[in-house]
Structure 1
Amino acid sequence: MTEEQETADEIGQLIDTAVKKAFEDVTHELESARPDVFGLSMSGLGRCRRAAAYALARTEPSDPDLALSGERRTANLGTAIHRMLLPALARVLGGRHEVPVLLADGSVLGIPGTLDLWWEKKRAVVDVKTVGEHKLDRVVVRGETYEHRMQVGGYALAQGADWVVWLYLDRSTGKTARVVERFDAGFRREVWQRVWEIQRLAEAPEYAPRDERGPGLSFQCDGCAWLRRCWGRTARSGESGAQAHIAHDEPAVEAALAKYDEYRDVESRAKKWKAFWREVATGGGRRPGNYGAWKFHFTKPGYALDEKATRKDYENRGEEPPMKESAGRLIVRPITK
């Protein structure tokens, strides 16, 4: 390797490190600016109920740094888009952006939040959600998620809105899709029921249901300020394993193995049905295009390592291909009596 190449590699590594540190600094700056980092806010209404209960009960965080750290590139890029788009959208619609609100029913500590856009003329709360590449089509067909629904419903309840609008924006293309719903009595009841449930769970947050799958398997858990309080002292962000402490006796392990077997069968059946419906919809040379509410196309062919040919090449040269140790396969079978 030449001196010029070595210098280019060094510069590239410095750039990579700088970008990582820059995102971490942005995360810390944004999270530290929140008036109540560990309290329950509107964005937590539809997330994990145990985390929401901890927040409402003012439970001391076991891992406060997790809520203030990390690159969180997706979230930070979404924040940057908000800061550019919302003021312009407010000017065009004649509304106000980033409006502070407080949801309270007189008996609980108010739940604060900042709604994206208040469109006074239509009495509508407009919430902008940025999504990753190729996820926009799923939003169009399936609508908003429960988490988004509770968050925006909380804004609407606090603001006295008649309408709610979810505006989804694809970060990679700039394309948008929107969901519009009247904020009627049924929707208001949904939000209040969620608030009251969290209020009840906050009386004993340690017994609140976990709605996430734990460290290493859930982004929310990996960034949760109560990670070790919830999953045990051995829990580490980004590392699975703490889930094992849920099964504290033989019947619990038995139940977990039964669930594993159940989901293994579901996964197997789902893969076969997925393959079947793929052939039904796209087989026989059917042309890509729009078909009612759905459309399909194929990406360009890609390339993957030909393991058989690679192994043969090493054998022909009298060499062993590089190997790495893999985890043993888990075998679960019922005991026959």
Structure 2
Amino acid sequence: MSIPPAMFRGLSAFPITPADPHGRVDTDALVRLVQRLAAAEVDSIGLLGSTGTYTYLARAERRRAVEAAAGSLRGRVPLIVGVGALRTDDAQDLARDAKAAGADGLLLAPVSYTALTDDEVFQHFVAVAGATSLPVCIYNNPGTTHFSFSDALVARLSKVPGITAVKNPAPPPAEARARHEALRARIPSSFAIGYSGDWNASDAVLAGGDAWYSVVGGLLPEATLRLLRAAQAGDTAEVAGWNERFQPLWELFKELSSLRVMYAAANILGLCRAEPPRPILPLPSAAYPRVAAALKRLDADGH
């Protein structure tokens, strides 16, 4: 399997998926967001992740989103597509749809209602990874799936053909290096370890992480790239300076959720007019000045 070198490394920017109240994707708005990320030269685009509200979209709408994004990118930036679903056969269908629509890689979360065991998750991943030839990244997001991958399970999955990376929640900075090195010692050197959780991700990259799967990168790619490149270079002073500038946004993410804040930010920046899917409610208008102030601190474009 040929894997583009930047596929699961560097900055993977995760945009929202603008849609109407009935869940029909606004492909024109989505293309504008994706083109903006490509112009900023992010390392990959994570379409239909949690920020992209994949679980709230019908199969046909998910395919429309991938077709629109892939068609506009034309291979300029690797496109990683979330294919999580409650049923294994549905996730397999979504993986096939994503490949047919032009995806370069897959992001798979163990979506569940009934709590899953390690063996159930393992077999689920084996089945979905075998459905296409696309490389798969394990999506470890216990905050939404209520399933947490142990290092032992990641190591076991790293031996499955086609599973080539993991997206882990970034640990607290004081624990980042030890946690990263403990996992790295158990998996092949070619297996990429990336991190989400924007406020801790740069420290996880400083500790050796291969990728930052970023919510904020989906709307503010220039500033996010500057923070990431500083972390990749091991420039702790520059990382600290950028994190200080991002701090008001990190606080809003923790208080109000990154998803709600990013929808508000997209509206404030005039990138699209969209609201999150119900039952998620948009931020109240009273919160908008705080989001606008956090964006202004970053000068929106990171200059």
TM-score (norm 1): 0.23
Report the TM-score when normalising by structure 2: 0.25
Tell which has more relative contact order, 1 or 2 (C-alpha 8 A, sep 6+).
Answer: 2
